[in-house]
Amino acid sequence: MSENVQVTTTPPKRSVPLWAQILIWVGLLGLLAILALAMKRSQQGIVKVGDTVKDFTLTTFSDDAHPAGQQIRLADLRGKVALVNFWASWCKPCEQEAPDLEAAWRAYKDSGEVVFLGIDYVDTEPEARSYIAKFDITYPNGPDLGTRISQAFNRNMGVPETYIIDRQGKLRFIQIGPFQSVAEIQAIIDPLLVEK
């Protein structure tokens, strides 16, 4: 009978050292914290209608009058209605709305109550200049250097996109895709001009 007796000994349990366990947990928690921060940041940045638009400065394309370009700060436009249009020379729908935007600008520019800003989104300068000349665009236009301006809106999914900001600096209208007519643009801006 003694032959059948089996000696079962449990092998000494080798556990991960405590310092390594702490390190692993700290690392994992740190990663989760970074992910949470990144998600919170991306959610916070999305500008919605009614939000105050984050300030940005547009440096316009240089011309004879402004060899180094003109600096236009959104915060300095408080008291006026601002139309911010994102476009690119490689964007075909942008060409569709370009004449309407220019016509609307010419209708408002003498009033001094409305400002149009053209933001050239990830484009090459020679082609952008050709585009401006082709559509005889006279309102200020400049490149979105380092995509900082589109990041200020943080919802730029493509071009064209247009944001209309009221006199208090609050976003009042978002147009994804091209405007279809001058009347459509005026129908959005005119009510904002009545507000004080």
Residues that bind another protein (CB under 8 A): 3-4, 6-9, 11, 14, 16, 24, 27, 31, 34, 88-90, 121-124, 127, 143, 145-148, 151, 158
**What's the rounded Cα separation, in Å, for the pair 71 and 140?**
10
Q: Determine phi and psi for 74, rounding to 5 degrees.
A: -60, -40
Residue number with CB closer to another protein (48 or 92): 92
Beta bridge partners of 71: 59
Query: Hey, is 54 helix, strand or coil?
Result: coil
Structure token pair of residue 103: 């016509």
User: Among residues 24 and 49, whose Cβ is nearest to another protein?
Assistant: 24
> What DSSP character marks residue 17?
P
State in angstroms the smallest separation of the CB of 169 from another protein.
25
Nearer to another protein, 34 or 49 (CB): 34
Nearer to another protein, 11 or 67 (CB): 11
Minimum distance from residue 181 beta carbon to another protein (Å): 26
Written as six digits, the tokens of 168 are: 């208090």
Minimum distance, C-beta of residue 35 to another protein, in the bound complex (Å):
11
Residue 151 beta carbon to another protein: minimum distance, rounded to whole angstroms: 8
The alpha carbon of 107 is separated from its chain's Cα centroid by a whole number of angstroms, namely: 27
Q: What is the nearest approach in angstroms of another protein to the Cβ of residue 156?
A: 10
Pick between residue 123 and residue 166 the one whose CB is nearest to another protein.
123
CA dist 196 and 9 (Å) reads 87
Length of the chain counted residue by residue: 196
